[in-house]
Amino acid sequence: MFNKILIANRGEIACRVAATARRLGVRTVAVYSDADAHARHVLACDEAVHVGASAPRESYLQWRRIIEAAQATGAQAVHPGYGFLSENEEFAQACADAGLVFIGPPPSAIAAMGSKAAAKALMEKAGVPLVPGYHGQDNDPALLAREAARIGYPVLIKASAGGGGKGMRRVDRAEDFAAALASCQREAKASFGDDHVLVERYVLRPRHIEIQVFADSHGHCIHLNERDCSVQRRHQKVLEEAPAPGMSAARRAELGAAAVAAAKAVGYVGAGTVEFVAEELDDGDIRAYFMEMNTRLQVEHPVTEAVTGLDLVEWQLRVAAGEPLPKTQEQITLHGHAIEARICAENPDAGFLPATGTLEVARWPEHVAFRRNADGEPFHVPAPVRIDRGFDEGDAISPWYDSMIAKLIVWGEDRAQALARLDAALAQVQLMGLHTNVAFLRRVVGTQAFAKADLDTALIERERAALFEAAPLPAELAAAAVAAQVLAAEAALEGADPWSRRDGWRLHGGAERLLSLQVHGQDLTVAIARHHDGALALRIADQRWPLAVRRRPDGRHDVQLGERRFAAAVHARGERFAVFCDAGSALVTEFDPIVHAGEGAGDAGRLTAPMPGKVIAFMARAGDRVQRGQALAVMEAMKMEHTIHAPHDGVVQELLYAPGDQVAEGGELLKLGPA
C-alpha cells in the first residue's frame, strides 16, 4: 500500500478519497485553486499545494503543476477523482513517466474508451449492439447534418470525449441542428479540450443503466452489478439507484458479462463503468445498447457500495498498488436497495440555472455509516444515511466549478423502504443562502412514476405538472413559523424584572405586532395578536387563526395554527428567514413597506444575466428587431452553456459586453428598447 497519495481533484470526491485513505493510514495531498483556498477538501488532507487561478484551465487542468506538486511532496501515486483529468490519457502517461502511479486504468485503455466514437467502433467489432448513428471522424457540419437526416429525427449530438451531460443536445428538427451542433462543440471544447462529436438516434423513453466493473493487473476482471441512472435533467443525473428496478437475474448476468468483455478488450485495470441505453420492448423485456465506458470512478458509486458492503476507493488503491482484486465474481452479493440524490446549487424553477452564493446555513441529517460485520459482509444499522459533501456552512459556491454541493445516499431492505428513508432524509436538509434543488428532489421522489419505478430519462419532463406546478408551502404556515421565531427572539431578550417583558401585555385589551413579509413573491401584512389573557392569534388580511408556539429541545419550533400542528426550523439572517418543515420550505423576507413600495421601478424588460458567468456569444446586433423568446445571448457558468432569451419584442440598442467577458449576476447584457 502507498504511504502518500495526491488527490488531483476538489469538492466531495476529494473529501471522499481522503476519508478512505485516512482509514487505511495513507497520507494525502490536496491541490487547490485561488477560489478553493479554504475549501473543505483542503482541510480534509494532510498537506495542500496551490496550483493556480480559479478557472479550471488555469489550475485543476494544469497537469504539469499537479505532477510537480506530487513530486515535491513525496506522493507515490495520484488519484484523479472524476471529471477534470480523470480520463486524460496524456496525464496518465505523464504520471507514469514521472514515476508516479496513476490510480486508474492504463493510458491505452483510456485512449481506447475515452473517445466515444472509437469505443463504439471497438464494441461493434466485438458484436456488442450499438444505437444506430454516425461514429466517424469527419465532423464537417454539412456531413453531420446529412447523417442526422439519414438516422432520422429526433437525434442526439454527443461530445465524443465528453461525460456528465456536457456537450450533449437532443435535436428534434433539421432546422435546429446547426445551432445545437455549434453549442455542443463549444461546450465540449471548453470542458474536455476536444470538440469532436457523434450523432445517434434518440431512443424514445430510454433508461440509463450502467455496470460497475473492476479489474486488476493480474488478469482478473469482475462486475459489481448495475445501477439505474435514468432520472436526469439536461442529460445530467439527478437520482441514481442500485439495483436497477425490474432487472432480472438473467439480464443482469448478460449485461455484466458484456461489460466485463468490454473491459477485457482494452486491457482495463481499476474501476470503470460500462453504460447502456435501454428501451422496453412490447413484451416487457429490455433491449440494451452500448453507449460508452467511463474510465474512472463514478459520482454514483456510493449506491454500489451500499448494496455490496464494499469500499470502491479502497479497491482502487489496492489494485493500483499491485494487489489482486479482494473478491471473485461469485463472492459479490447484493443486499437491499440504495438511492443517491445529488444536491446541487441550482434553481429548478428557472430551468435549472446554476446558483452561486454562500452557504449561510447548512444542516444535514445525521450521518449513519454503512458498516461491515467481522466477516466483511454487509451489516446495516437500522436507518443508514450517508452524506458525501464538499462544503461546510459558511463556504462559498463559486461559478467556476460544478454545481453539486453534496450527495445524499440512503439504504433500505427494499426499494419502498429506501424511498421512505430518502424522503425523510431530504426533509432534514436545511440549506440557506442560495437556490438549491432539495425541494425539487423531494417532489421527484414523491411522484407516482418514481415510486412505481416507471423510469426513463424523460421522467422529469413527463411529471412537469407535479414537479414545477406543485403548491409551495402555504404562506400562512411560513408566516406562523416566522412569527414563532420572532416571539422566541423577543423572549430571549427579556430580563428578570417585569419592565423588560416583551410579550405585549396591556392593562386593558390586547396588542398586535405587524410584520411586512414577502412569501413566495407575495407581499403579506401579518399581525401577531396577543389577547389580554396571553392567548395568541395570527391574522393575514381577513383570515385569523389561533396560534400557539413552543420551543423544542432540538431548537425547532412546535407551532399550532388553528387545527394544524407542525414542527419548523427557522434560520434568521437579518431580514431573511429560511423556514423548513415536513410540508416544505420557504424563504421569507421582512421588508419596510414604505421603501418597498418604490423598489423595482423601471426594471421591467431589462435583459440581465440570471447567474454570474462568461459571455460566449450574442445572436443579435445593435439595430436588430427581435421577438419575445428569441435567443439573444449564450453564457457559460459552472461548465454548462445557458441561452438567454428576449423578455419582450423590441429593438437591440446596444451590446454592453463582448464575448469572453465575465458578467456578475444581474448584470445588464444589452439594451433592449421598444419595438
- Please check whether residue 371 is in contact with residue 334, taking contact to mean a CB–CB distance below 8 angstroms: no
The 10 Å Cβ neighbour count of residue 354 is 25
Question: What gap in Å lies between CA 395 and CA 404, rounded to an integer?
Answer: 13
Residue 169: count other Cβ atoms within 10 Å of its Cβ.
22
C-alpha gyration radius of the chain? 27
Distances in Å between the Cα of 139 and the Cα atoms of 143, 157, 181, 546 are 7, 12, 10, 69
Question: What is the distance between the alpha carbons of residues 611 and 317, in angstroms, rounded to a whole number?
Answer: 39
Round to whole Å and give the CA distance between 373 and 388.
22
Question: ∠528-529-531 over CA atoms, to 5°?
Answer: 150
Judge residue 374's burial from the number of C-beta atoms within 10 Å of its C-beta, 0-12 exposed, 13-18 middle, 19 or more buried.
Answer: exposed
Provide the grid cell at 12. 466531495
In sequence order, which residues have a C-beta less than 8 Å from that of residue 91 and are 6 or more positions away? 63, 66, 80, 85, 102
Give me 297's grid cell: 470512478
> Which residue is associated with the grid cell 456488442?
128
Strand 378-379, strand 522-530: pairing: unpaired
CA distances from 644 to 355, 600, 634, 641, 671 (A): 15, 21, 6, 10, 14
Cell for 646?
428576449
Q: How many CA atoms lie within 13 A of 638 on its CB side?
A: 22
**Bridge-partner residues for 406, per DSSP?**
343, 389
d(CA 639, CA 658): 19
In the chain, what are the helix, strand and coil shares in percent, each to the nearest 5? Answer: 30, 35, 40
Dihedral, CA of residue 478, residue 483, residue 484 and residue 488, to nearest 10 = 140
Q: Which residues contact 664 (CB under 8 A, 6 or more apart)?
A: 609, 612
Cα 208 to Cα 453: distance, rounded to the nearest angstrom? 13
Which string of b and e fits 559-578 if b means at least 16 CB within 10 Å? bbbeeeebebbbbbeeeebb
The amino acid that residue 398 corresponds to is S
Label residue 28 exposed, middle or buried (CB < 10 Å: 0-12, 13-18, 19+).
buried
Nearest to 87 by CA among 116, 124, 58, 64: 116
Q: Which helix (H) or strand (E) holds 116?
A: helix 116-125
- Rounded Cα–Cα distance for residues 369 and 306 (Å): 10
Query: Is 296 one of the annotated active-site residues of the chain?
Result: yes
- Set 169, 207, 296, 539: catalytic member: 296
d(Cα 6, Cα 29) in Å, to the nearest integer?
4
Instruction: Answer whether 310's CB lies under 8 Å from 297's CB.
Output: no
Specify the pairing of strand 133-134 against strand 101-102.
Answer: unpaired
- Sign (positive or negative) of CA dihedral 33, 34, 39, 43: positive
Which residues belong to the active site? 296
